[in-house]
Amino acid sequence: MSALSSGATLVLGGARSGKSRFAEKLVTDCGLERHYVATGRAWDDEMRDRIEKHRSDRGALWTTHEVPLDLVGQLSSIDREDRAILVDCLTLWVTNLMIEERDIPAEFIALVNYLPQAKARIMLVSNEVGLGIVSENRMARDFRDHAGRLHQMIAAIAADVYFVAAGLPLKMKG
């Protein structure tokens, strides 16, 4: 694994694929101050347990920011050249935007426009959800479509793109 390059990096993978662990390692290896932007919300006990486990696994060397909606605002407030910022994960952010009935295309464009000007090294983790069966309900299909569009937009501007399966990263770009 090489150090995180300048510019945004996108790490995609399925559930429990090892994508977060891989992204955390890239950030750790670059030697910069570590910031973790968590987009998940603790809607139930199981999610609270997952969030706590992630927090515990990362340890004290990370500064955590819990940001369910204003991702660009948070990134701009902590953006410095001596920092690496890991956003985990974009698909939870998309879920939050959908639940809150936000202007999803505008939020995506704001993020895509922000990333190239960022001073920090930014790592974005997301679930690849377009490889499975087509869901029978509209909300799930809309979610899949939003995530797919966002992934394409981020991948187009990212310096590096990885796909992780079974803990093994495949470099797709960079």
- Active-site residue set: 54
The strand pair at 160-165 and 168-173 is best described as: antiparallel
The beta strands (E) that lie in the chain are given as: 9-13, 33-38, 62-66, 83-88, 121-127, 160-165, 168-173
Distance, CA of 69 to CA of 128 (rounded, Å): 20
Sign of CA dihedral 159, 41, 109, 146: positive
